Amino acid sequence: MDSLEELFARARKNEEIARNLFDIEVAMLNVAKVQPFLEHLLQTVQDKFGVKHVWYATVESAHTESLIKTLKASPELAGKWVSAPSVEYLAATKGAREPLVDHANLYRFFFMTPPEIRTQIRSIAILPLILEGRLAGSLNLAADDQERYRADKECFFLRQLSVKASLCLSSVVAREKIADLATRDPLTQLRNRREMEDALEVEISRAGRNDQPLALAFIDCDDFKLVNDAYGHDVGDEYLKHVAEGLCAMLRKSDQAFRFAGDEFVVLLPDQDQEGAEQIAERLCDYLYANPLVIDDMRIPVKVSIGVASTSQIGTGSARSLLKLADKRLYEKKKRKPSAATRLSSQDQC
């Protein structure tokens, strides 16, 4: 039977663990984006509980595609997550939604453990992560000794951490989705016109403070209506997504692309004067035309017109005046081009 001192010591230890769990939950609820959430959770668990090895294992499925994409995008999480085939993961964990602890059969979890630590760990705790009601993977803790996560250990606090981590993850994923709905174009995944207006105000202000140029490219798809009429709206949607992907492929990290409306796009080009922006616009036109949309047996050329304006041409003008000037240049470019019917008759299709 435990002595009174041992009971008090255990109570103090449990109180400390409960306080740490509460601190983790509060910290996680204050994170609004999935990537910083995933980064912060690992670091906080490691710091609060003194765990040497902490990492994620994700189940490979359509349900976790976005989560895996976020993990891949984080340099801070490199080597701290593993993607596991769904069948193997479910077989090893028996699809458990309760924490698992083990010190004797670690080899069965090797496929869901980063290779560099497989030979170092002596006991492991696997905490399921439930995302939107479905098993998405696990938060894994491992120690260099067998005692910490022995197979016969009580999992009460691990269960609490698993539940709190799952609830917070589901919450931040939902919040990010809502934010994306407000700021992203659902078809092309580019930021929308509202975001463009806010970003343009910021960039205009920054350019003025730093005495640096800023250019804006207004882009219109020449034959979008013809593509819609000839091939249907599904192909038209693919056409717009293809244009958006082409823009993203050609732009610098500092550039920003937006879907303005319909078949119109806007690109902000920081630190670019008029001449440099005109050269970028020409390269964009050439790239899109050299990479037609290919669907089944059709090759649909992508032709765009681009109007460019820079802050050097509007003096102390506003964001609205820069956008208006680029729109005017775009209209002038389109007026000089042959009619849509003439362009369509000259298109090659296979």
**Which pLDDT score, from 0 to 100, does residue 350 have?**
26
Please say whether the beta carbons of 333 and 307 come within 8 A: yes
Q: Enumerate the CATH 3.30.450.40 domain ranges in the chain, comma separated.
A: 4-183
Per residue in 200-245, pLDDT (tens digit) is 999 999 988 888 999 999 999 999 999 999 999 999 999 999 999 9
What CA–CA distance (Å, rounded) separates 89 from 86?
A: 5
User: Does 349 score more than 50 pLDDT?
Assistant: no
pLDDT of residue 98 exceeding 50:
yes
Name the 3-class secondary structure at 247.
helix
What pLDDT score does 348 carry? 42
Q: Which amino acid is at 328?
A: K
pLDDT at 292 over 70: yes
Q: Which of 253, 268, 256 is nearest to 218 (CA)?
A: 268
Burial bucket for residue 316 (CB in 10 Å: 0-12, 13-18, 19+) = exposed
Q: Which CATH architecture has domain 4-183?
A: 2-Layer Sandwich (3.30)
Say if residue 177's pLDDT is above 90.
no
Is the CATH code 3.30.56.10 the one for domain 193-345? no
Which residues of the chain does CATH 3.30.70.270 include? 193-345
Residue 65 clears pLDDT 60, i.e. is over it: yes
At residue 76, what is the residue type?
E
Q: How confident is the model at residue 10 (pLDDT cuts 50, 70, 90)?
A: low
Please give the single-letter amino acid code of residue 73: A
pLDDT band at 346 (very low <50, low <70, confident <90, very high): very low
In this structure, how many other beta carbons lie within 10 angstroms of the beta carbon of residue 311? Answer: 23
DSSP SS3 for 217: strand
Interior/surface letters 260-288, b for 16+ CB within 10 angstroms, e for the rest? beebbbbbbbbebbeeebbebbeebbeeb
Return all residues near 239 (Cβ < 8 A) that are at least 6 apart.
221, 224, 227, 293, 300, 302
Query: What's the gap between Cα 263 and its chain centre?
Result: 24
Backbone angles phi, psi at 145, to 5 degrees: -120, 160
The answer to which of 29-43, 47-61, 288-302 has the lowest mean pLDDT is 29-43
Weakest mean pLDDT among 16-20, 82-86, 303-307, 327-331: 16-20
- Residue 255 CB neighbours (<10 A): 18
Structure tokens at 250: 């050609």
Question: Is 233 strand, coil or helix?
Answer: helix
Q: List, in sequence order, every beta strand (DSSP E) within the chain.
A: 53-60, 81-85, 100-102, 123-131, 134-143, 214-221, 256-261, 264-270, 293-295, 298-300, 304-310
Pairing label, strands 53-60, 81-85? parallel
Model pLDDT, residue 337: 76
What is the maximum span of the chain, computed from C-alpha positions, in angstroms?
A: 94
Question: Cα–Cα distance between 300 and 157 in angstroms, integer?
Answer: 59
pLDDT band at 9 (very low <50, low <70, confident <90, very high): low
pLDDT at 59 over 80: yes
pLDDT at 17: 61
Q: 15: pLDDT confidence band, cut at 50, 70 and 90?
A: low
Which H helix or E strand runs over 43? helix 34-49
Strands 134-143 and 293-295, by their bridges, are unpaired
Q: Is the pLDDT higher at 140 or at 164?
A: 140
Q: Residue 302 and residue 295: Cα distance in Å, rounded? A: 13
Average pLDDT, the chain: 88
Instruction: Supply the DSSP symbol for 77.
Output: G
Whether the per-residue pLDDT at 2 is higher than 60: the answer is no
For 29-38, write each residue's pLDDT tens digit: 677 789 999 9
Query: Is pLDDT of 341 > 70?
Result: no
Return d(Cα 241, Cα 264) in angstroms, integer.
Answer: 12
